[in-house]
Homo-oligomer: A and B are copies of this chain.
Amino acid sequence: MTVRVLLADDEHLIRGALAALLSLEDDLMVVAEAASGPEALAMARAHEPDVAVLDLQMPGADGVKVATSLRAELPGCQVLIVTSHGRPGHLKRALAAGVRGFVPKTVSAQRLAEIIRTVHAGNRYVDPELAADAISAGDSPLTAREAEVLELAADGAPVAEIAERAALSQGTVRNYLSSAVSKLGVENRHAAVRLARERGWV
């Protein structure tokens, strides 16, 4: 019984190479490839794969978003996320979206093939190191608004702009920013943004 696989990654080089390698496995068959989030969805609808191997960062819609949609449209399709930069928060989001596997690109193709089988069998697989990171990073100490404001502050926008975009008063924005900064124990909001990014909290 062969496992029908959908491969989505925006880097042609990697996608092609991966497809070739996975095809060497007798029980795996790459039935579709995609280079963007929306394309991955379309391909999934057209080919109904057993397992979707998605890159976390893709143009259009990221792996987690695609996974969420897939979950709703093709419940029989298991999702496995592959990523280069494993931020702890992403793992949490991915798991919440019903993703069954989460691995860094540092694994070998051999291992990936095994993991695809694991996931296809209905089991979960999370890279132990990423899992450890996620646990040690813990939950976000930020409230919903704090995170929202921090996100709007991400591109260096002044408070006035953040306030406008969030439909809040400037004072409120500064308060949220201030409390986020103190919760994260950093110097200023820009460092806060970076830290929250690293931890995957925004």
Measured CB to CB, the residues of A under 8 A from B are 10-14, 16-18, 20-21, 24, 35, 82, 84, 104-109, 112, 155-158, 186-191, 193-194
In the bound assembly, the distance between CA atoms of A24 and B21 in angstroms comes to 12
Verify B190–A12 contact, CB threshold 8 A.
Answer: no
Verify B17–A109 contact, CB threshold 8 A.
Answer: yes
Chain B positions within 8 Å of A107 at CB level: 12-13
Verify B16–A187 contact, CB threshold 8 A.
Answer: no
A20-B21, A156-B193, A193-B156 known; A13-B105 Cβ under 8 A: yes
Verify A14–B12 contact, CB threshold 8 A.
Answer: no
In the bound assembly, the distance between CA atoms of A156 and B191 in angstroms comes to 5
Verify B17–A157 contact, CB threshold 8 A.
Answer: no
Closest CB in chain B relative to A13 CB, distance in Å:
4
A17-B17, A18-B17 known; A12-B188 Cβ under 8 A: no
Verify B188–A13 contact, CB threshold 8 A.
Answer: no
In the bound assembly, the distance between CA atoms of A51 and B74 in angstroms comes to 45
Closest CB in chain B relative to A177 CB, distance in Å:
12
A17-B21, A20-B20, A21-B16 known; A155-B191 Cβ under 8 A: yes
In the bound assembly, the distance between CA atoms of A172 and B133 in angstroms comes to 41
Contact of A105 among B12, B20, B190 (CB under 8 A): B12
